[in-house]
Structure 1
């Protein structure tokens, strides 16, 4: 009797589950708690959470800010979350007149403030415009949180909190990022709604 081979979907889901299990076993709890504390403190004090990323990570940046400005699970006031990846006029004007590497750092210069938080998303951790944004955030007295792939790349040294997913496969990293930032949104919202 032959053993049937798992379907392509089953194999993909197994790889996804493996990454999530390795993330769970890597002890991300303390780091996610630290990120939630930073974001809660900033938003609770009326400071901004700035979020940026490229490509699929730009969509994730929009998703995060949508959950916080709107609502995740609870009825509450809107929170000061700004997506740096979604203003097409700013992105295209600045990239055309100057360069794409500084499209986010320029916006950090405009919107950043001491006590705020920059959350940057880069599966490699090496996206030049996200790295420059972290440098600008540090100079502005902001805290920094990075969502990356394994090791964190250049963002590791620039992050107050590094949430790196133990994989180098972009789609699997992005799937784990969704789990991490949904949990982050849930935690921040619960804490601020209770305040």
Structure 2
């Protein structure tokens, strides 16, 4: 067990070390510009990445907003179970984020996701719609990159395919974005 744990931790370090810092800086700049222009930021994801999207919206909406004194307009589209299940049931699961964006999103807003595979149909459909409607799009993906890497305006690739490790690193990136505001780091 100890050897396995040491190997797991070493692999986690390699995954975290693969994060392109310039990519995190660019994502933070996009979020900052949305904040400055009072645009909305939408976070989406599936499974563990849905939890990460929710966590990101909480940290940005509360902690970052408290630190800078001007509120972030951020929401995770993963949190309204009644709406998600109605959309999935009445339309299709592929539409659960797209149809929420149709209600809320405007040109200049930001859509951000974390996806290990980068190919979840509901994320791809939402990103295609966002691109067509003038939103800024940020996709954090794993080493397979998937469809999102080819359609997102800005992509951050974590060089690993292990779901747990990549999801953990995506949460690191979400925290770096939020804490750059909480700790008032100049751009």
How far 1:187 moved relative to its partner?
2.4
**Cα shift at 1:188:** 4.3
Given the alignment, which residue of 124, 137, 157 partners 2:130? 137
Contact 1:121–1:130 (8 Å) recurs in 2: no
Aligned position for 2:22:
30
User: How far apart are residue 86 of structure 1 and its match?
Assistant: 0.7
Structure 1: stretches of 5+ with no match in the other structure: none
Q: In structure 2, the residue corresponding to 1:82 is in which secondary structure?
A: strand
Unpaired segments of 5 or more residues in structure 2?
A: none
Residues 147-195 of structure 1 show CA distances to partners (whole Å, capped at 9, x for unaligned) of 110142100111111011001111111111111111111224556x98x
Q: Could you give the per-residue CA deviations for residues 126-157 of structure 1, whole angstroms, max 9, x where no partner exists?
A: 01000111011111100000011014210011
2:3 equivalent to 1:7:
yes
TM-score by length of 2: 0.91
Larger Rg: 1
Structure 1's consecutive aligned runs of 4 or more residues displaced over 6 angstroms after TM superposition are none
The answer to whether structure 1 residue 53 and structure 2 residue 45 are counterparts is yes
Q: Per-residue displacement from partner, 1:68-97 (whole Å, max 9, x unpaired)?
A: 111148363431111011111110111111
Aligned CA RMSD, in angstroms, stands at: 1.9
Contact in 1 for aligned 2:96/2:122 (Cα 8 Å): yes
- TM-score normalised to the size of structure 1? 0.88
Contact 2:15 2:169 in 1 (8 A): yes
Q: Give the conservation status (yes or no) of the 8 Å contact 1:39–1:188.
A: no
Tell me the residue number matched to 1:157. 150
Instruction: Indicate the structure whose relative CO is greater, using CA pairs within 8 Å and at least 6 residues apart.
Output: 2
Equivalenced residue count is: 185
